[in-house]
Amino acid sequence: MFDAKPVIQLDNAIIFQNQNLILQSVDLNVSSGELVYLVGKTGSGKSSLLKTLYSELPLKEGKGEVAGYDLKKVKRKDIPYFRRKLGIVFQDFNLLSDRNVYQNLYFVLKSTGWTKKTEIESRINEVLNLVGMGSKGFKMVYELSGGEQQRLVIARAILNKPEVILADEPTGNLDPTVTDDIMLLLKNICDKGTAILIATHDYRIINKFPGKIYRCEEGNVEEVRFVG
């Protein structure tokens, strides 16, 4: 068991994209081990909210804290350390296509401060087994199916044992069977104490894998009980 603690807290936050107001008066709370969905139509502000949470966009107004970092006080030099506490899963994978599975993960660990080769190898093998890719380390990215590529993305996201995973439409390009496999994987990670926030428009997965739901609509974010 783990002690649930707040890992994302937004209080009256206002989200901007450049000078454009995207979302206003945002209150958002996510605790460790909690599965939370962010729903809304394309263009409703889901991605901008996620980008604010990992400091791609600055938080200019309101209060915000993620994994112990004050979003309004995060300095540029601190962002790499801050992001080690986060796992970020993109819809378009963002994998290194000229490297194999093992090398994709090795690159992340080296760039986030890991130095001992034995520890790096051990951690890579551990996460590959966790995501069901233990025998795929030698494969090039282009040799993997869409589902396998997303498993690799999740492996990359959990390398540094993050407090929270932020996932932007993580199953958007996958068929329903593969989507369910990816969601089961994320749910297992969540059950071990990692908070997971998923931006999605796929209500089927929300019904199958229930969690707390926030809806982005007409410039506002509100917690809702039902979706559809």
Those residues with Cβ within 8 angstroms of residue 40's Cβ, 6 or more apart along the chain or in another chain: 46, 201, 215, 216, 217
For residues 28 and 64, what is the distance between their CA atoms, to the nearest angstrom? 9
Question: Is the model's pLDDT at 220 over the cut of 90?
Answer: yes
User: What is the separation, in whole angstroms, between the first and last Cα of the chain?
Assistant: 33
What are the pLDDT digits (tens) for 150-203? 999 999 999 999 999 999 988 888 889 999 999 999 999 999 999 999 999 889
Question: Is the model's pLDDT at 31 over the cut of 70?
Answer: yes
Q: What is the mean pLDDT of residues 66-86?
A: 91
Mean pLDDT of the chain: 92
For residues 179 and 181, what is the distance between their CA atoms, to the nearest angstrom? 5
For residues 46 and 42, what is the distance between their CA atoms, to the nearest angstrom? 8
According to DSSP H, which parts of 20-145 are helical?
A: 46-53, 79-84, 101-111, 117-130
pLDDT of 2: 61
pLDDT of 80: 83
**May I ask the CATH class of domain 1-85+163-228?**
alpha beta
Question: Is the model's pLDDT at 140 over the cut of 70?
Answer: yes
pLDDT of 1: 60
What are the pLDDT digits (tens) for 118-130? 999 999 999 999 9
Q: What is the mean pLDDT of residues 69-87?
A: 90
Query: Would you list the domain boundaries of the chain?
Result: 1-85+163-228, 97-161
Question: Is the model's pLDDT at 18 over the cut of 70?
Answer: yes
- Between 145 and 225, the higher pLDDT residue: 145
Question: Is the model's pLDDT at 3 over the cut of 80?
Answer: no
pLDDT of 227: 64
Buried b (16+ CB within 10 A) or exposed e, 5-31: eebbbbeebbbbeeeeebbbebebebb
What are the pLDDT digits (tens) for 202-213? 899 999 999 999
For residues 146 and 205, what is the distance between their CA atoms, to the nearest angstrom? 18
Closest CA to 143 of 100, 92, 96, 91: 100
Question: Is the model's pLDDT at 11 over the cut of 90?
Answer: yes
